[in-house]
């Protein structure tokens, strides 16, 4: 840190620079936590603001005092104060994790947003489930984990909220400039996912070799065709759902995964299963989708479907590109590596290229595939990252929980 403070950045090697970025990020999380505590202490001296004493104009102006001191708009000052109070009162474990440097403010916001309608006990249970290893996942991955935990901690309440939210379904047209308008529909997730899959399928069928329209344009045109009654071939949209047999037959209420959306309640999943054509996938005892290998260069359609169902996204650390748009890559180049499940993984075009560059240059990214579809990535500066297939939790999942990559455990302020 001395070299950074003295701006002798040129004397640092690449790995030092990356380590400095990480240390600064942790320090920023710590600072945000300490500032929240300071604001909380300030609010406690204006008990009317907290609703702990009769309202007074003096107390209610606490946000304005903060705003004036920090040169913020009054509303922003109050928002800062409210956020600090929320962290202290509603999300104490998240605040502690910020103070230890493992949760950034943006991750804390995700936990806050996704737990908004929960009871204090349920919030504590969600925090307990998601905070372990939180430093090693991206905000997008955290949001999925929190959604799943929210459905898991109180399945009945989650189902009640699902039923309540369904009442809000609607179609809206909003005007946009240049002769355009936006047509949006708020729908139960399974309908939205199915409608999009159907439009995408029709758009792909409509695409000829001479087609100059982009996929976005084609899907938009097909949507109009469907509503005008000029749609192409008929068929059913495929909805992919991952749930255990026990949940399907109602023995438990574990959350299920609606592919293309995320966790849904067991009741919603059983409703979808009851009204759809569906297909089962096998998983191993860790919850990873498994299948049979083939010794061919191009993965068979079934094997490609399997790898996409197992991986769900590009397998580069932190990349969220959906598997549907990713390449199926041989971890060890064919023919040295076989065309089988244990040697295949989804990579988006960009990360496929990055991996290919690494195969030809000593300094590039390297990747190995281990059991259960784990990919171990080594960066050009020698950092290692392990990425896992999206796991559908089973009773045994905890046995193979992702091992956190080592993080710097120095005490704050790092
Ligand atoms: Zn990627």
Distance 174 CA to ligand 1 centre (A): 34
Distance 398 CA to ligand 1 centre (A): 26
Residues 316 and 262 in one domain: no
Residues 121 and 211 in one domain: no
Distance 379 CA to ligand 1 centre (A): 14
Residues 43 and 91 in one domain: yes
Distance 347 CA to ligand 1 centre (A): 5
Residues 85 and 10 in one domain: yes
Distance 405 CA to ligand 1 centre (A): 20
Alpha-carbon Rg of the chain, whole angstroms? 25
Could you say which of 131, 165, 183 is where a domain stops? 131
Q: Is residue 411 part of a domain?
A: no
Residues 86 and 57 in one domain: yes
Distance 326 CA to ligand 1 centre (A): 8
Share of the chain above pLDDT 70, in %: 84
Distance 270 CA to ligand 1 centre (A): 32
Distance 318 CA to ligand 1 centre (A): 8
Across 130-165, b (16+ Cβ under 10 Å) vs e yields bbebbbbbeeebbbbbbbbbbbbbbbebbbebbeee
Distance 323 CA to ligand 1 centre (A): 9
Return the higher-pLDDT residue of 39 and 249: 39
pLDDT in tens, 74-110: 999 999 999 999 999 999 999 999 999 999 999 999 9
Residues 14 and 127 in one domain: yes
Distance 140 CA to ligand 1 centre (A): 14
Q: Is residue 147 part of a domain?
A: no
Distance 206 CA to ligand 1 centre (A): 28
Distance 402 CA to ligand 1 centre (A): 19
pLDDT in tens, 282-304: 566 666 766 433 333 455 677 78
* Separation in Å, CA 40 to CA 45, 50, 54, 142, 382: 9, 10, 18, 26, 42
The domain of 123 spans 2-131
Distance 313 CA to ligand 1 centre (A): 8
Q: Is residue 167 part of a domain?
A: yes
pLDDT in tens, 159-192: 888 899 999 999 999 999 988 999 999 999 988 9
Distance 289 CA to ligand 1 centre (A): 20
Task: Pick the most confident of 132-136, 199-203, 393-397.
Answer: 132-136
- State the pLDDT at residue 205: 82
Q: Is residue 173 part of a domain?
A: yes
Q: Is residue 165 part of a domain?
A: yes
Return the higher-pLDDT residue of 357 and 41: 41
pLDDT in tens, 331-354: 998 778 887 889 999 999 899 989
Q: Is residue 412 part of a domain?
A: no
Sequence-distant (≥ 6) Cβ neighbours of residue 14 within 8 angstroms: 380, 381
Distance 331 CA to ligand 1 centre (A): 14
Distance 273 CA to ligand 1 centre (A): 31
Residues 309 and 271 in one domain: no
- State the pLDDT at residue 78: 94
Distance 369 CA to ligand 1 centre (A): 16
Residues 23 and 58 in one domain: yes
Distance 367 CA to ligand 1 centre (A): 13
Distance 307 CA to ligand 1 centre (A): 15
Q: Please count the structural domains in the chain.
A: 3
Sequence-distant (≥ 6) Cβ neighbours of residue 85 within 8 angstroms: 39, 40, 43, 50
Distance 409 CA to ligand 1 centre (A): 29
The rounded distance, in Å, linking the Cα atoms of 124 and 131 is 11
Lowest mean pLDDT among 6-20, 33-47, 311-325, 385-399: 385-399
Judged against a pLDDT cut of 50, whether residue 404 lies above it is answered with: no
Sequence-distant (≥ 6) Cβ neighbours of residue 286 within 8 angstroms: 372, 391, 394, 396, 397, 399, 400
Residues 344 and 265 in one domain: no
Distance 377 CA to ligand 1 centre (A): 13
Q: Is residue 99 part of a domain?
A: yes
Residues 181 and 215 in one domain: yes
The rounded distance, in Å, linking the Cα atoms of 355 and 120 is 45
Distance 175 CA to ligand 1 centre (A): 35
Distance 97 CA to ligand 1 centre (A): 28
Residues 188 and 234 in one domain: yes
* Strand order across the beta sheet in which 366-369 lies: 366-369, 375-378, 384-387
Q: Is residue 160 part of a domain?
A: yes
Residues 38 and 77 in one domain: yes
């Amino acid at each position: 840190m001395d070299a950074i403070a003295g701006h002798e950045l040129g004397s640092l090697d690449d790995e030092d620079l990356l380590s400095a970025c990480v240390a600064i990020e942790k320090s920023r999380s710590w600072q945000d936590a300490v500032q929240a505590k300071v604001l909380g202490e300030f609010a406690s001296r204006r008990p009317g603001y907290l609703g702990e004493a009769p309202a007074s104009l003096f107390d209610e102006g606490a946000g304005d005092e903060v705003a004036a001191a920090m040169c913020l708009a009054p509303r922003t000052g109050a928002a800062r104060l409210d956020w600090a109070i929320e962290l202290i009162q509603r999300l104490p474990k998240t605040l502690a994790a910020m103070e230890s440097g493992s949760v950034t403010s943006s991750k804390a916001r995700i936990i806050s947003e996704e737990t908004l309608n929960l009871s204090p006990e349920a919030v504590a249970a969600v925090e307990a489930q998601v905070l372990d290893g939180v430093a090693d996942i991206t905000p997008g991955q955290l949001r999925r984990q929190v959604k799943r935990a929210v459905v898991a901690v109180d399945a009945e309440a989650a189902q009640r909220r699902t039923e309540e939210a369904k009442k809000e379904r609607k179609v809206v047209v909003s005007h946009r400039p240049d002769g355009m308008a936006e047509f949006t529909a708020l729908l139960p997730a399974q309908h939205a996912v199915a409608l999009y899959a159907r439009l995408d399928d029709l758009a792909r069928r409509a695409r000829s070799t001479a087609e100059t329209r982009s996929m976005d344009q084609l899907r938009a045109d097909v949507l109009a065709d469907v509503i005008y009654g000029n749609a192409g071939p008929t068929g059913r949209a495929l909805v992919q759902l991952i749930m255990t047999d026990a949940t399907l037959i109602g023995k438990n209420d574990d959350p299920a995964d609606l592919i293309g959306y995320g966790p849904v309640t067991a009741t919603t999943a059983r409703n979808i299963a009851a009204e759809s054509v569906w297909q089962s996938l096998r998983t191993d005892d860790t919850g990873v989708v498994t299948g049979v290998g083939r010794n061919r260069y191009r993965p068979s359609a079934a094997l490609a479907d399997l790898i996409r169902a197992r991986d769900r996204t590009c397998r580069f650390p932190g990349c969220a590109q959906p598997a549907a748009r990713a390449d199926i890559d041989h971890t060890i180049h064919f023919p040295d590596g076989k065309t089988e499940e244990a040697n295949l993984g989804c990579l988006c075009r960009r990360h496929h290229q990055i991996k290919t560059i690494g195969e030809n240059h000593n300094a590039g990214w390297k990747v190995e595939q281990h059991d259960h579809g784990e990919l171990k990535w080594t960066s050009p500066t020698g950092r290692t990252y392990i990425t896992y297939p999206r796991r559908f939790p089973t009773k045994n999942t905890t046995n193979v929980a992702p091992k956190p990559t080592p993080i710097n455990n120095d005490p704050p302020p790092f």
